[in-house]
Amino acid sequence: MDNKLNNNNGKGNGKNLGALIAVGVSILFYFSLYIINKSIFIKSVNKFWESLTMILPFLFFVFIIMVITLLLFKPDKIKKYLGKKSGIKGMLLTSVAGILSVGPAYLWYPLIADLKEDGMREKLITIFIYNRAIKLQLFPLMIFYFGVKFSVIESLLIFIFSFIIGEIVEIFTVGNN
């Protein structure tokens, strides 16, 4: 088991190469900055360290919530509840699924495309994608940066607007077909 887990981790590191190159280029950039202008270099490093230490506890918290979400909500389970109904219940379920879905959006596209073939409406796909802008697991970080009032208003408006945008998309796509 340990070997398997280690192998998986190895693959992840391989995919991470592009991002690591980006860090490498940034460090090289900072190195040349040190040579060209030491004052700007020191100010930038201080600024960087200040920002990094501020977000670290929040990143740890986000990690814990991501693990819990992964344990509780499996993609196939969500598919089971969203495939059949498309009324208000379906809209609410789709929005909740959108809010709870973690990871990049394109990872969910094959699943949603499957649901579309099973009869999922364009409106529900839009609601799902739009509600992904509400990130429960990132809520503490959002409050940290923008405050409680902003975070609550923003999330509520996204939730409400997802239905309006869903209707618009359905009118323009299904209506014209």
Binding positions for another protein, 21-60, rule CB under 8 A? 22-23, 25-27, 29-30, 33, 40, 43-45, 47-48, 51-52, 55, 59
Q: In whole angstroms, what is the distance from residue 23 CA to residue 82 CA?
A: 40
- CA 61 to centroid of chain Cα atoms: 15
Question: Does residue 130 interact with another protein by CB under 8 A?
Answer: yes
- The residue among 84 and 172 lying less far from another protein, judged by its C-beta, is 172
Tell me if 124 sits within 8 A of 94, measured CB to CB: yes
Name the nearest CA neighbour of 158 among 177, 175, 142: 142
- Here's the x/- map for another protein, 58-97, by CB under 8 A: it reads as -x--xx--xx--xx--------------------------
Q: How far is CA 148 from CA 132, 141, 155, 160, in A?
A: 19, 10, 11, 18
Minimum distance from CB of 80 to another protein (Å)?
19
Among the listed residues 82, 93, 99, 112, the single contact to another protein using CB under 8 A: 112
Minimum distance from CB of 87 to another protein (Å)?
21
Minimum distance from CB of 116 to another protein (Å)?
7
Encoded tokens for 62: 């986000």
- CA 64 to centroid of chain Cα atoms: 15
Question: Does residue 150 interact with another protein by CB under 8 A?
Answer: yes
